[in-house]
Structure 1
């Protein structure tokens, strides 16, 4: 078996108790047989349209020679650099696949104008761009397509020769792109975005960039048979039971890359779990950790640790209570997909919808349409603007006090979400704040780059248990970039996305602190000091 799992503590008790029942209920066979009734009557309509990922290996096989042929054509035309414009499920899987293979792919899942400009100015003459969106209606991806079309034309390059589109058949993007003469790859419309790693969304950008995508499919294929069997050693059943079956439920899952050769898998798992399970006031919060994260030493009763390891260890060598998992990338992608839908059954939720993702999009569109004047800050400290919900800012007059106030609302079962709406390439040090706040709060802390996390943990924040505390970090950028044929700029878009999400969180009664840097480079040290 190409995926192996070791369990201990509450996870082992859950596996021992639950897996026999899953086997008896023929859950693996029914998932593979596209049985939409597994998750209850309320989920059946959605599930009936979203189980195609179980067949991704066979459905995607004919794409491989087409992708490789296009790569040869582009390379022969002088293309040496590939960019992916996509969000959420369209970007996270290709990022893991290419980084693990050691292949360069610029992943542009951003609306920060500085980050977009940096991508546009990077080897444009030898660049090809993949635009990935199920519908094409994603504002971020549409905006990325528009600026690359203009940039290519301005450079005397026909964008039709350099832009490749991945979308669902018959989508507005599919129709428009084909009419304009673009090369289009259609993905399986029966696969939701976060389950699309082994479809055209994962394979086209990865294959064009130079990954051996046939080997990836072969790895998944080698695992598919055992995942379809109702047996006690089925890794999908074991993993699903381990992460969602403990009594009481450990509803935070700390994901630690601990020796695995796979780069960035935790970020992909984060979206898959958070968006699939965080709804109806329930869910499992994935928390991407490093081997030195404070949470690993705090023995939190509601935090299950899973380690992504290089070598399988016998259960007796496990840290007590931990889960360990190892395997090839293709096999792990498919195993996690099975495990998360099993977890959905155990939690009593529909693992295929994302009812609260749209709320932030609606709020963003409203702000872009109305273009109201920015809300004045509650106060300014050293040039840093501070805004927030009323209870967070009551009686507070400086940044350090605001941070202390928002963290004081954290309950014993809560978590902190840090959301950075800045250029993640330019300011990677912001990710350090996760460990700093975790050490201070002694509770799980997630970190997300905006707006990409809106297509990932954003669903959990609004739909999951109402125990989150939110710290937004935004900036007033020193550059901006127009979006062709749109009445707003990238700078206005990212500000509206942050403000829109903050308003929806506030409407859900969540404590929100928004920290706006007016000179990010100069003010980062003060921000980090205040958070720590």
Structure 2
């Protein structure tokens, strides 16, 4: 059986048994009047306890239209920057908005010929930041988005770097465009420094803000045609009130029925959609909005429909991002195929996840568990004897060449004597029906080989276990703002493998008593403390030499 729901430029194709499962949920959503209520911004859809926050977080439903106003659509700053020869845009921020802006840029200029370069820095890794600082600062403008520790530290680091490059006064001030809510501490700091301020929507958060100022400003600065994105979203917006022929409602029913049933892992693979980087944005939305109160849907982004981990098992639901609903070839038998342009896809998934949250009985807009890691990080940075450099001196349970294995307790490695044996212990520690999250606090560019650990571990997991465990991958600290909520608030069936690396050239943070390297380690250790306190198996691999250590890990898993 196959059902194709097409409207507003989007097609959602549902095949096989998932159709029967989702139709029951869909009928319930229609009978409850959910499409009309959500389109009317009814804050009570997620229950009385969630109503107060939802009332302040439903602005995303109107962004395809409201983001067109001159205050929100930054044609002015973009034109001014290029007139001044500033064609290198650094996004300093974290969370869904940063991932969305990166997807916009990579998709819009997937064939090259971009008028400006966009560099997304949602990291505290000193190697990665140093690499960006080594670029041409005289062509660089920095978009500061949000008030995360990453954004604050990077704003300070680039301010000093610009000053050392000979910029001062108005020229230095104009090298920053700040996106923040009016009245916020960041907005006030921007005003005092003379930076250009673009107001962020007060009723939209970063997770649901793909079509808001937080994502559109840096994308527009880099030359993305954000008006076209909004046009595509507007076509879908027009059909979201419909109870039928509503692809967003259909996708929401699929997500909800999967999470309610046995298929609580959502494997997402791209198959020629042309939406580069979008799967990562969908991952942060699904994981962060639904993973709480012991419930949720684990997003598992894989490299392709042929990648290890895409195979259909009892607890996986597969979603293919395609170019058309009848896309032939590998993976066509998957449960769901979604096709359509990027702007509409953002709105489609935001709506679908909000609908699924209602069915699951969770608030899609709160993040009750993300603060634990931030508090743990802050405690490490405040303590004179508990700073990250002190904690890291704890002896490892195993050393193999350039790789240290830290398991938290000597018996946690179960007598493993080699790196391969230690990695087998990590895989065996995954609870039945659970997952393994690989979390790399490294340089996304210089240590890009770390991402290759996911398919290698997934392939080995498929051979080593009777029931293969899905393996996810995230860069730290990016994942803290994306799927970190699921790790702490979702079902307690995860195991965690952190990868940290030696710092050979640190970067001080002006006005702060720590460096980027110390902040990065505190973020890693802070999150490790939290997941261990929740009883989850958690291991850390520390690379004494990053390149050599990654090569060793690859060889051990081959």
TM-score, scaled relative to structure 2: 0.91
1:376 aligns with 2:383: no
Match of 1:385 in 2: 404
Aligned to 2:4: none
- Are positions 1:329 and 2:342 aligned together? yes
* TM-superposition CA deviations, 1:15-71 (whole Å, max 9, x none): 321212212211111112111111112212221211111011222111378611222
Pair 1:50 & 2:61 matched? no
Counterpart in the other structure of 2:451:
431
Alignment match of 2:300 (pick from 283, 287, 293): 287
Structure 2 match to 1:145: 155
Contact persistence 1:389–1:511 (CA under 8 A): no
- What CA distance in whole angstroms lies between the structure 2 residues aligned with 1:347 and 1:279? 10
Structure 1, 27-36 or 8-17: larger mean CA deviation: 8-17
Partner of residue 197, structure 2: 184
Q: Distance in 2 between matches of 1:504 and 1:396?
A: 25
1-side partners of 2:225 and 2:498: how far apart? Answer: 39
Distance change >3 Å, CA 35–CA 316, structure 1 → 2: farther
Contact 1:164 1:184 in 2 (8 A): yes
Contact (CA 8 Å) 1:237, 1:338: kept in 2 or not?
A: yes
The question of whether the paired residues in 2 share the 8 Å contact of 1:236 and 1:335 is answered with: yes
- Report what 2:244 is aligned to: 232
In 1, the alpha carbon distance for the partners of 2:209 and 2:72 equals 19
Give 1:314 shift: 8.4
Instruction: Give the deviation of 1:315 after TM superposition.
Output: 11
Deviation at 1:273, TM superposition (A): 0.5
Partner of 1:396: 416
Contact 1:85 1:131 in 2 (8 A): yes
Q: 1:376: Cα distance to partner?
A: 2.7
Matching residue within 87, 95, 102 for 1:95: 102
Point out where structure 2 has 5 or more consecutive residues left out of the alignment.
1-6, 463-468
Determine the structure 1 residue equivalent to 2:529: 503
1:85: which partner in 2? 92
State the partner residue of 2:465. Answer: none
Whole-angstrom CA distance in 2 between matches of 1:389 and 1:344: 35
Q: Does 1:19 align with 2:33?
A: no
- In 2, Cα distance between equivalents of 1:315 and 1:294: 20
Higher mean alpha-carbon deviation, 61-70 vs 279-288, is at 61-70
State the Cα distance separating 1:278 from its structure 2 match: 0.6
Which residue does 2:488 correspond to in 1?
462
Match of 2:225 in 1: 212
Deviates more, 1:251-260 or 1:231-240: 231-240
Contact 1:386 1:516 in 2 (8 A): yes
1:433 CA drift (Å): 0.9
Question: In 2, Cα distance between the equivalents of 1:400 and 1:180?
Answer: 53
Q: Report if aligned partners of 1:378, 1:387 keep a CA contact under 8 Å in 2.
A: yes
Bigger drift between 264-273 and 60-69 goes to 60-69
Change (3 A) 1:216 1:379: same
Cα displacement (A) at 1:405:
1.3
Give the SS at the match of 1:34. Answer: coil
> What corresponds to 1:68 in structure 2?
75
- Per-residue CA shift, 1:253-312, capped at 9, x if unaligned? 011100101111100000001000111111000010122212223x31110000000112
Q: Distance in 2 between matches of 1:414 and 1:310?
A: 31
Match of 1:306 among 319, 336, 339: 319
- Whether the 8 Å contact between 1:251 and 1:302 is mirrored in structure 2 is yes
Q: State the partner residue of 2:362.
A: 349
Segment of structure 1 superposing worse, 510-519 or 374-383: 374-383
Q: RMSD value over aligned CA atoms? A: 1.8
Q: 1:420 aligns with which of 417, 440, 444?
A: 440
Match of 1:193 among 184, 206, 210: 206
Q: Partner of 1:37 in structure 2?
A: 44
Choose the corresponding residue for 2:431, options 388, 393, 411.
411
Q: Does structure 1 retain, via aligned residues, the 8 Å contact 2:71–2:198?
A: no
Matched position secondary structure for 2:276: coil
Q: Of 273, 277, 296, which residue of structure 1 is paired with 2:310?
A: 296
Cα distance between partner residues in 2 of 1:494 and 1:316: 42
Listed one character per residue, the Cα deviations across residues 301-358 of structure 1 (whole Å, up to 9, x for unaligned) are: 1100000001121899974452001011111100100000011011111111111111
Match of 1:254 in 2: 267
- Contact 2:73–2:216 (Cα < 8 Å) also in 1: no
Please give the residue correspondences for 1:449-488 in structure 2 after superposition, counting only pairs within 5 Å: 449-488=475-514
Q: 1: CA distance between counterparts of 2:417 and 2:372?
A: 31
Contact 2:436–2:497 under 8 Å retained in 1: yes
CA contact (8 A) 1:57 1:198 kept: yes
For residues 214 and 144 of structure 2, the distance between their equivalents in structure 1, rounded to whole angstroms, comes to 10
1:497-526 CA-to-partner distances (Å, cap 9, x unmatched) read 111111100000000110000111222211
Q: Please say if 1:267 is aligned against 2:272.
A: no
Inter-partner Cα distance in structure 1 for 2:73 and 2:46: 36
User: How many residues get paired?
Assistant: 527
Cα distance change, pair 458–467 in 1 and its aligned pair in 2 (3 A)? same
Q: Which residue of 351, 354, 361 maps to 1:338?
A: 351
Instruction: Summarize deviations over 1:116-159 as a string: whole Å, max 9, x none.
Output: 011111111111110000xx2x1111000001111111112232
* Deviations 1:206-256 (CA, angstroms, capped at 9, x unpaired): 111101111111111111010122x22211110011122146241100111
Range that drifts further, 393-402 or 517-526? 393-402
Rate the CA distance shift 1:238–1:209 in 2: closer, same or farther, 3 A.
Answer: same
